[in-house]
Amino acid sequence: MAESEDATTRWRRGHHWRLEGKRVVVTGSTKGIGLHVAREALNLGAHVLLVSRSDADLASTRDSLRAELGVPDAAVAHHACDVGTDEGRGTLVAAATALWGGSCDALVNNVGTNVRKPIGAVTAVEYETMFETNCSSCFFLCQAFQPLLEKGRASCVVNVSSVAGVTSSGTGVPYAMTKAAMVQLTRSLACEWAPLRIRVNCVAPWMTMTPLLREAVAKHPAQLDEVSVRTPLGRVAQPEEIACTVAFLMMGASSYVTGQCLTVDGGLSVNGFAGPCAPPGAPGARATVVAPLE
C-alpha cells in the first residue's frame, strides 16, 4: 500500500512531467533534433549519454551543454561510435553498461541519413547505407539494449522516423522505406515488449529547421516557401518542437502510450487538398503562419 501511495503522491506533485534521474541514450546527438532532445532531457533532470561518430564533436557538445544548463559533469557523458555497424553498437552497449551499471531507462534512436535522388539514380551502396543507418541501427540497437531496458525504471524507446514514413513527401523512395519500417518496428515491438513493461513509440517529423536544412535553404530559398505553403501551419518545424514530443514520450505522463507514431508535421499529412493551404473563401491563398508556442 505504501508503494502505491508513494506513486500517487509523486503523480500529484507533477513528477510525471519530469525525467528526473532517467538514464537516456540519444544517438546522433551533436546537432539538429538529436542535440535538442539531449538538451531537453537534461533540462528535465535526466542523465544523458550522447552518441555520434566524432569524438571531438561529442566532447564539444558535452562541454557546451554542461556550461549552458549548469548540470553536473556526471549528468552528461559521451561515446563515439558508428551505430550503423555491429562493432559500433557493441561498444555503445558496453559503454552504457559501464556507465550505469547494466541498466538504461530510455533509448532514442535518432541517427539517420538520406540521399535525395530519383529511384533510377540510387546506387546499391547508397541504398544499403540508408538502410544500415536508418533502419538496421534502430532494430539492432533495440535488440542490444533489451537487457539494459529490462533492468531500467519505466523503460521506453523512442524512434525518430519521418513524415516520409507515413505519406509521400518527395524525400526519395529508399529514405521513405526506411522510415516506414521504423514505424512498423515501433508498433510490433511495442506489443512484444508490453509484458516487459517497456514502451516503444516514435515521432514522425516534417521538415525541421536544422543546420542541414539552413544550408539547403540558403542554396534554394524557394524550397522553404513551397514547403510552408503546403503545410497548414504555414512553416517548417523548429528542432525544439520535435525534441519536446520525444521528451513527452519518455515521461511518466505518457505511461499509457505505446506503439504509437506521433506525426509532428504542422498538419501536412492530414492536408487532403493537394494545393496550397488557404482560408475559406480564398482559394490558393497562403495560410497564416502559426508561430511556435513559447
- Which residues are identified as catalytic? 175
Burial annotation 235-249 (CB, 10 A radius, 16+ → b, else e)? bbbebbbbbbbbbbb
Angstrom distance (rounded) from CA 32 to CA 13: 32
Cell output for 275: 494545393
Which strands make up the sheet holding 156-160, listed edge to edge? 76-80, 47-52, 23-27, 106-109, 156-160, 199-205, 261-264
Element (H, E) at 202: strand 199-205
Q: How far is CA 194 from the centre of its chain?
A: 21
Q: Are 41 and 24 in contact (CB under 8 A)?
A: yes
> Considering Cα of 218, then 219, then 220, then 223, what sign does the dihedral take?
negative
> Considering Cα of 25, then 31, then 34, then 39, what sign does the dihedral take?
positive
Residue that has been written with the C-alpha cell 504542422 in this structure: 266
Give which of 72, 74, 128, 83 is closest to 109, Cα–Cα: 83
Residues paired with 235 in a beta bridge: none
Q: Which residues contact 280 (CB under 8 A, 6 or more apart)?
A: none
Cell output for 133: 543507418
Q: Which DSSP category does 274 fall into?
A: S
Query: What is the dihedral angle through the alpha carbons of 74, 154, 52, 50, rounded to the nearest 10 degrees?
Result: -20
